[in-house]
Amino acid sequence: MKKLLTIISILCALPFSTSALAQARGGQPLPDGPGKALVENVCSSCHSVATITRAAGYSTPQQWHDLFSTMIELPSAQANTIAAYLAEHFPEDISRRPNLIVGDVEIDIIEWTAPTLGQRVRDPIEAPDGSIWWTGMWANLTGRLDPETGVMEEYRLPPTSRPHTILPDADGNIWYTGNSNASIGKLDPTSGEVTEYKTQARDPHSATFHPNGNLYFTAQGAAMLGRLNPATGELKEIETQPRPYGIKTAQDGTLWIAYNGTNKIGAMHPDTMAVKYYEIPNASTRVRRLDLDSEGMVWFVNSTLGKIGRLDPATGAIKQWDSPSGPTSHPYALAVINDVIWYNESGMRPDALVRFNPESESFQSWAIPSGVGIVRNVWKTEAGNLLIHQSSSNQIGLVKIN
């Protein structure tokens, strides 16, 4: 705590005006009022004030306090001042409430708070032993959770790695994409040792293992796709369409790629790495995540237009459905469980978890308890449940589907 207070004191003493500091962090000046300078100095030490000005807001100081307490530990006097300022100037934006659809399916959502505050948890996965792992992107770590006991432990990764996505292998090793240090990494949980494989792409993003034993990955900013042979360390990387994002392996071995920089979905051959592109109607379409059903249909989120869609690889036919909360709902993460589609509406507050039944073409949705955002990836467990997370509020979640 003493170290934290020292850091805060230094930040508050920096020779910037509050407006200059806000603009230096990429945001706009905050409204005047008691607590403004404290909010800019403390909150801007980790993120832009634009994160606050773009937020859906809360109407009570306690709600704001509950949120930023998952990001940083503050003395009560400072916490109370900040909470009061935020509640006064950034109340709830009711226009961003989700349109929740009732239905017959019952779920239970269990959430855990990761130990290191402000780490921006993301991309939870299930390891072969049933443990749940996540990345703490801003803290350069990965964590392990025993869902039976709630015990959590964290493993430090190279300090510039900023791990984006993690994957387990059959031996229990945890692989990650080093989004800021151009690497694919492997953590051995038994020893804590990390092995890095340097990539040409500057920002490895999402990844998947293939039945051939190779790890395939996307690099969004570099517009590249890669393949790593874990046995030999051999890497092959190719250029591709702008901003490749999510990636999944189909039963026939095809690698499907979602593109967040163009209105396309790619199908890559695992051996030649040749990519066939399928164009989604409307040039504004951007696809973040996708998954496949038992018939090989590709399901995807149309994030920019507030839709989910289905691509038939055999015919190229595409069908789309409007998400319940409309064109600004921004569907983000997606998984197919027993041929039912699960995804989230990340543009809503709280973040909504949505179930879509393709047979009846019907929706059902729930508010995520800590849903201040954002679920950026989900994982289907061996039991047929769903792993989620909330980056901003430092939460790892398990959705038990009854």
Average pLDDT over residues 33-42: 91
Is residue 376 left, alpha or beta, with left meaning phi > 0 and alpha meaning psi from -120 to 50?
alpha
Per-residue pLDDT averaged across 28-44, rounded? 88
In the chain, % of residues over pLDDT 90: 82
Residue 114 has pLDDT above 90, yes or no: yes
The answer on 247 and 338 residing in a single domain is: yes
Verify that 290 and 335 share a domain, yes or no.
Answer: yes
pLDDT for position 44: 77
* Same domain, residue pair 106 and 78: no
One domain for residues 148 and 247: yes
What is the greatest pairwise CA distance in the chain? 63
Mean pLDDT lowest among 19-23, 93-97, 200-204, 205-209:
19-23
For residue 216, the cross-strand partners are: 208, 227
For residues 142 and 136, what is the distance between their CA atoms, to the nearest angstrom? 6
| Spacing of C-alpha 65 from chain mean position | 23
278 and 144 share a domain?
yes
Average pLDDT over residues 125-148: 97
Q: At which of 44, 66, 94 does a domain end?
A: 94
* Position 233 pLDDT exceeds 60: yes
Task: For residues 7 and 178, give the distance between their C-alpha atoms in angstroms, rounded to a whole number.
Answer: 27
The answer, yes or no, to whether residue 59 has pLDDT greater than 80, is yes
Determine what percent of the chain falls in helix, strand and coil, rounding each to the nearest 5. 15, 40, 45
* DSSP codes, 203-217: -EEEEEE-TTS-EEE
Specify the pairing of strand 174-178 against strand 395-401.
unpaired
**Would you state the pLDDT for residue 257?**
98
Query: With bands split at pLDDT 50, 70 and 90, how would you rate the model's confidence at 28?
Result: low
Same domain, 26 and 116: no
Given 94, 116, 133, the domain boundary residue is 94
Tell me the DSSP string of 294-317: TT-PEEEEEGGGTEEEEE-TTT--
Main-chain dihedrals φ then ψ at residue 30, nearest 5 degrees: -80, 160
Q: What is the mean pLDDT of residues 27-49?
A: 84
Find which of 56-60, 347-351, 385-389 is predicted with most confidence, using mean pLDDT: 385-389
**Residue 60: Cβ within 10 Å count:** 14
Q: What is the pLDDT of residue 36?
A: 92
Query: Could you tell me if 73 and 176 lie in one domain?
Result: no
> Of 34, 69, 94, which residue is a domain's last?
94
Q: Looking at residue 187, what is its pLDDT?
A: 98
Tell me: pLDDT of 24 over 70: no
Q: Is the pTM of this model over 0.75?
A: yes
Residues 123 and 184 in one domain: yes
Question: 300 phi and psi, to 5 degrees?
Answer: -145, 160
97, 159, 75, 99: which is closest to 354 by C-alpha?
A: 99
* pLDDT band per the 50, 70, 90 thresholds, residue 160: very high
Q: Do 113 and 68 share a structural domain?
A: no
How far apart are alpha carbons 10 and 45 in whole angstroms?
11
Amino acid code (one letter) for 309: G
* 145-152 CB contacts, 8 Å cutoff, 24+ apart: 145/112, 145/396, 147/110, 147/398, 150/112, 152/112, 152/114, 152/115
Residue type, 368: I
Task: Please indicate, yes or no, whether residues 86 and 110 belong to a single structural domain of this protein.
Answer: no
Whether 8 has a pLDDT exceeding 70, the answer reads no
> Is residue 87 domain-shared with residue 109, that is, in the same domain?
no
Mean pLDDT of 303-330: 98
pLDDT on residue 17: 35
Question: Same structural domain for residues 198 and 159?
Answer: yes
Q: d(Cα 22, Cα 8) in Å, to the nearest integer?
A: 16
* CATH label of the domain that carries residue 106: 2.130.10.10
Structural domain harbouring 337 = 101-401
Asked whether the predicted pLDDT for residue 372 surpasses 90, the reply is no
- pLDDT at residue number 230: 97
3-state secondary structure (DSSP) of residue 36 = helix
Number of domains in the chain: 2
CA separation for the pair 243, 259 (Å, rounded): 6
- Collapsed DSSP state (helix, strand, coil) of residue 133: strand
d(CA 142, CA 177): 11
